[in-house]
């Protein structure tokens, strides 16, 4: 199963990823997480991406496409993958189609988590993230069992540096201009499932499961 999860910043892509990946036994590939890992390790790629991420702008397509191509060619992607945060431009989507065509595979479904922009700022400024496993929490909507600590591995939670109001607003704007056109792109290919992302996370998960099971 090759799945793409689309949605604005804070739509719940990362929150829903684990459930989907467990269901189909596929890896979760988040380009945001991959960039943050490179940033932490101060790799050349991380250094190139930093200024864009800090501002909430997109990292240039060519840097992202190479990163994803290397990742999806790895053995653990043979049965499929969940792409979270990629593609983010029509150019990236076309590049992905080309890579898949070369490997004689194709995308099975594109999930679109629909959340209106007025909710996103609140979700992201209240988000806390585990720097070890990337799990997202929310101080109000999805708090960890022990305040400030990851349920899964006990790591102290952090606030992502791009989760401040000004940067969030730019990320939403960038989403609307560059990424929202992908909804039409995948609809035209007959791959789109739009899901109301304002419902409880467990309800969203059920709807995703039903959509993907229809593609199995
Ligand atoms: P990335 O890490 O992908 O960030 P993003 O797309 O802005 O998405 P988020 O991770 O912020 O949101 P999410 O949808 O995963 O929400 P979450 O589940 O955590 O990218 C970061 C940066 O990297 C980009 O700005 C760019 O610079 C660069 N980049 C990455 N990929 C790129 C690409 N392909 N091309 C170019 N540049 C790229 O949930 C959010 C909050 O809401 C949490 O607090 C959560 O607990 C809560 N929540 C979740 N679901 C619900 C619900 N149903 N009800 C109530 N609260 C909920
Ligand atoms: Mg995320
Ligand atoms: Zn963790």
CA of 4 to the centre of ligand 3 (A): 23
Report if residue 139 sits inside a domain. no
Task: Look up the CATH number of the domain holding residue 64.
Answer: 3.40.50.300
> Does residue 131 fall inside a structural domain?
no
Q: Which atom of ligand 1 is nearest to the CA of 127?
A: 44
Number of domains the chain is built from = 1
* This prediction's pTM: 0.97
Please, which residues have CB within 8 angstroms of residue 156's CB and are 6 or more apart in sequence? 148, 149, 150
For residue range 128-142, what is the model confidence (pLDDT) as tens digits? Answer: 999 999 999 999 999
Residue 216 in this model has a pLDDT that exceeds 90: no
Residue 127 lies in a domain: no
Asked if 137 and 144 touch (Cβ cutoff 8 Å), the reply is yes
What's the chain's average pLDDT?
A: 97
Q: Is the CB of 93 under 6 A from ligand 1?
A: no
Residue 153 lies in a domain: no
Residue 124 belongs to a domain: no
Q: Structural domain of residue 11, as residue ranges?
A: 2-115+177-213
């Amino acid at each position: 199963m090759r799945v793409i999860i689309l949605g604005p910043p804070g739509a719940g892509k990362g929150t829903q990823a684990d459930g989907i990946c467990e269901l189909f036994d596929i890896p979760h590939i988040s380009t945001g997480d991959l960039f943050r890992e490179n940033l932490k390790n101060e790799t050349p790629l991380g250094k190139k991406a930093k200024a864009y991420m800090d501002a909430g702008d997109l990292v240039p397509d060519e840097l992202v496409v190479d990163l994803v191509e290397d990742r999806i060619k790895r053995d653990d992607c043979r049965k499929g993958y969940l792409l979270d945060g990629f593609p983010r431009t029509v150019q990236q989507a076309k590049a992905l189609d080309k890579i898949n065509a070369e490997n004689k595979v194709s995308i099975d479904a594109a999930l679109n988590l629909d959340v209106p922009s007025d909710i996103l700022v609140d979700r992201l400024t209240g988000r806390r993230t585990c720097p070890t496993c990337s799990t997202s929490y929310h101080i109000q909507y999805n708090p960890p069992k022990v305040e400030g600590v990851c349920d899964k591995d006990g790591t102290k939670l952090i606030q992502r540096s791009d989760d401040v109001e000004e940067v969030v607003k730019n990320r939403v704007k960038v989403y609307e201009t560059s990424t929202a056109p992908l909804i039409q792109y995948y609809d035209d290919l007959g791959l789109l499932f739009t899901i109301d992302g304002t419902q409880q996370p467990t309800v969203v998960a059920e709807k995703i499961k039903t959509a993907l099971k229809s593609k199995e």
